[in-house]
Amino acid sequence: MSEMSKIVRTLSNILFPFIMIFGLYVIAHGHLTPGGGFQGGAVAASGCILLLIAYGSTWASKKITDKHLTVFESIGALWFIAAAFLGLVMGGIFFLNSLVGTPVFGNIPPNGPAISDLNTGGVLPFMNFAVGLKVIAGLFAVVLVMAIASSVKEWKQ
Amino acid sequence: MSIRTIVAIVFFSILAVFFVFTALMLSFGEPKKTEMDDYIIMHTQNETGTNSGVTTIVFDYRGFDTLGEATILFAAVSGVIMIFRRVKK
């Protein structure tokens, strides 16, 4: 898959940071606003896929391969399971939100409709980041592998 | 009119009757059991400190379900990468 025209490349250069910032915002504010790891990860992965389509898979395969992305996805999965086991270690229950009430991460907001801070929610932001990393790496790896496979010229039958 | 058309008409009318009766039996907007909803709405902010109740249910109250979703995503990506891998001669 070769690169597209100069217009598409310039526009994707302009749009890429905004898409990535919006996706990371949805991940980081997953415990305050609608959205979360899955949704924000899909948005950020679509930004990466936009860059991949605009510049072509031959350019992208020099920068990053699916081996790097599988490392990131494994890190996300292990991080998520580690956050789940943290509850087992701290409180004896799997998936227990054990950081609620601790001074740094677990501020409890006032009851009712209130504007809350980022440092609330205990382990939920960490789980959101883990799932977001996993979804970004996973979706981008799928499309990258397909793009590289579609650009193979010599088919040895 | 062939017998195939008649059978199709009878089948789809019976199906439509089933759907209409099922929709009429449900009472929209008034769920009968609201204990779990009320508990989650009332206790979400005190127990987990989040303002988004949906994220609380997905990641905290039903965390095992999210672990399964993440496993499904992992398996899907692994399968796609395995199909499109480079085969060394």
> Mind listing the pLDDT tens digit for each residue in A36-70?
889 999 999 999 999 999 998 888 888 888 889 99
Q: Both tokens of residue A6?
A: 């100069």
In a domain, B46, yes or no: yes
Q: What's the ipTM?
A: 0.84
Q: Both tokens of residue A23?
A: 């996706």
Q: What values do phi and psi take at A39, rounded to 5?
A: -70, -50
Q: What is the DSSP string of A32-53?
A: TSS--HHHHHHHHHHHHHHHHH
> Mind listing the pLDDT tens digit for each residue in B34-43?
888 889 888 8
Query: Does B64 contact A34 at a Cβ distance shorter than 8 Å?
Result: no
In a domain, B62, yes or no: yes
pLDDT at residue A145 is higher than 60: yes
Question: Please, what is the average pLDDT of chain B?
Answer: 88
A45 touches chain B (CB under 8 A): no
B76 touches chain A (CB under 8 A): yes
- For tokens 């998520």, what's the residue? A80
Containing domain of residue B32, as a range?
3-83
In a domain, B89, yes or no: no
Question: Nearest-CA distance from A10 to chain B in Å?
Answer: 30
> Mind listing the pLDDT tens digit for each residue in B4-47?
999 999 999 999 999 999 888 877 777 778 888 889 888 888 88
Q: Work out how many domains chain B is built from and give that number.
A: 1
In a domain, B88, yes or no: no
